[in-house]
Amino acid sequence: MTLSFDAHQLDHFLLLGSLVTFLAILAVRLSTRAGLPSLMIYLLMGVVLGDVGVGIDFHDAAMAHALGFGALVLILSEGGISTKWSEIRPLIGLGSSLATIGVTVSVALMAVGAHFLLGLPWELAILLGAVCSPTDAAAVFSVLRVVPLPRRITGALEAESGLNDAPTVVLVVLVSSGALVEDSVASIVATIVFELVVGVLVGLAIGFGGAWVMRRAALPSSGLYPLSILCLTIGAYATGSAIHASGFAAVYVSALVLGNADLPHRAATKSFAEGIGWMAQIGLFVMLGLLLAPERISLDVVGLAVVAGLLLTFVARPISVLISSVVMPMGWRDLTFISWAGLRGAVPIVLTTIPLAAGVEDADLVFDIVFVMVVIYTLLTGPTLPLMARWLGVAETSEPRDLEVEAAPLERIAADLLQITISPDSRMHGVEVGELRLPHGVSVALVIREGESRVPERRTVLRRGDELLVVTPRKLRNRTDQRLRAVSRGGRLAQWLGRDPQQPREEVE
């Protein structure tokens, strides 16, 4: 059976697609319990659907390249929207260093090792080093959801995985097009810097501009807000690519800005983005499994993949992390875990479709090596992350004391309705409504407890799991949000004037 878009086969594709997607969604629970990125199951589904199983014939590298990039855009959008700026802001320097200096060091070490140890020509060696160096956002985000870690580690890993695709894509394109040989080193560096800087600027412009528009657009349905945010992030990628800048840098930065902006229905937007991200992961990994030709996977390829993985995991990654940490020194335990948690997933495999589509000689060998290497070392590192975190003493057993805040606009009175959920570890538990000391003009309109709603009094005691409906004038929204979070983290004694004891005064006032 050949993959096509014949209208007469539409019903078959819908049936097969819905069944595969549903089974993949059910597999998420199994993969998260095992601490294993779900890509393993999805890749296996793709292989089973391919030549050796159902018989779908899909070997179009150009289409795989286009679809893969489209899926990565959606995955990076979800990553940016779901990432809290407050958590990665202190680590943005280290994350940027890992995404630039770290990638450079890793590419150099992998290229040298692949040339002298694996016997690959320099072009293929550099390609192998380039496609293997970036961590995968989808793999990192999915595994970190089940490993309790301090913010200094999760922030660095999230920032790195969100930013390191951009420079790597530029490098792989330059190598695949032959520009790496024809252009000077200065020209190549200038190209990479230009694309990254302009891509970031495009992301900032669309992010802040889109947030300004969305705050003033009273859309008739809450479902339109997350859809609009996703359109803005995709537009950021398209704009960056259209002006020959880094679209991946643009999409991640714009999503990060929009995901942390004071916009209506933030929780709904995050949930929508997560759903789209999962769909993109499922489609991407199944497609990459289809692209594999199992008959090409010989013992020689497996041997090359094992050696390349050893070089990456135990030499290139640790050294690149150590050198990158110069900008922000950390303890050896943190650096060791960051090195071990440098998960590779769909991104390296997708990047190999660039030389495949460009017709680079022996590019299929690089694809096969990377595919096998990703499978083997994801199976090695993914499930062992919780154990490694405990062994190094970097695991956390408690959840952050924070709130879930959802906002809906009340346009006629220029106010917002905040829906507050008190988390299990919040110190707001046991606090009376009157002790919240919210700004004048702000009121707690309703308390929902165990499915029952009640109008609170000043002496009403709040409990874990309660949901509060708070009405605040829009001009007081930030002060209200800051005060609620301060009480959640510090309890009833959290600074009489409302300052969060964990934040510097200038961040609140």
Give the tens place of pLDDT for each residue, 439-460: 888 989 889 988 788 888 888 9
368 contacts 120 by C-beta, under 8 angstroms: no
Does pLDDT of 17 surpass 60?
yes
Q: Taking Cα atoms as reference points, which of 180, 128, 39 lies closest to residue 316? A: 128
Token duo for residue 269: 């937007």
- Pairwise CA distance, residues 349 & 360, whole Å: 15
Tokens of residue 184, six digits: 């000077």
| Least confident stretch, 145-149, 163-167, 319-323 | 145-149
Q: How far is CA 377 from CA 159, 254, 373, 387, 503, in A?
A: 22, 32, 6, 16, 40
Strands 467-473 and 452-454: unpaired
How far CA 255 is from CA of 83, 96, 231, 266, 365, in Å, comes to 9, 17, 10, 12, 35
Average of pLDDT values for 467-488? 86
Query: Does the structure show a pLDDT above 50 at 504?
Result: no
Domains of the chain listed by start with CATH number:
19-392 (1.20.1530.20), 403-508 (3.30.70.1450)
Task: Tell me the pTM.
Answer: 0.74
Q: What is the pLDDT of residue 322?
A: 94
Phi, psi of 407 (to 5 degrees): -120, 140
Is the pLDDT at 150 greater than 60? The verdict is: yes
C-alpha distances (whole Å) from 350 to each of 63, 354, 388 are 11, 8, 28
**pLDDT over 90 (residue 30):** no
Give the tens place of pLDDT for each residue, 220-238: 777 888 999 999 999 999 9
- Report the pLDDT averaged over residues 267-288: 85
Q: Is the pLDDT of residue 400 over 50?
A: no
Q: How far apart are the first and last CA of the chain?
A: 65
Quick: pLDDT tens for 335-378: 999 998 887 777 888 889 899 888 888 888 999 999 899 888 88
pLDDT given for residue 199 in this prediction: 92
| pLDDT above 50 (res 177) | yes
Computed over every residue of the chain, the mean pLDDT equals 82
Is the pLDDT higher at 115 or at 478?
115
Whether 501 shows a pLDDT value over 80: the answer reads no
Least confident of 111-125, 141-155, 203-217, 384-398: 141-155
> Residue 89 and residue 279: Cα distance in Å, rounded?
28
Strand partners, 454: 447
For residue 419, the SS3 value is strand
Burial 460-495 (b: 16+ CB within 10 A, else e): bebeeebebbbbbbbebbebbbbbbbbbbbbbeebb
Span of 22-31, 283-292, 451-460 with lowest mean pLDDT: 22-31
Average pLDDT of the residues in 423-433: 86
Residue 310 has pLDDT above 60, yes or no: yes
What integer is the mean pLDDT of 41-61?
Answer: 79
Weakest-pLDDT range from 134-148, 267-281, 304-318: 134-148
Least confident of 145-149, 326-330, 346-350: 145-149
- At 506, the pLDDT band (50, 70, 90 cuts) reads very low
Q: Give the pLDDT mean for 75-90.
A: 84
Q: Report d(CA 103, CA 35) in Å as an integer.
A: 26
Radius of gyration of the chain (CA): 24
- Which one, of 254, 199, 263, lies nearest residue 81 by Cα? 254
Is residue 287 within 8 A of residue 58, CB to CB? The reply is yes
Give Cα separations from 401 to 179, 272, 418, 427 (angstroms).
Answer: 51, 24, 18, 7
What is the predicted pLDDT for the residue at 222?
76
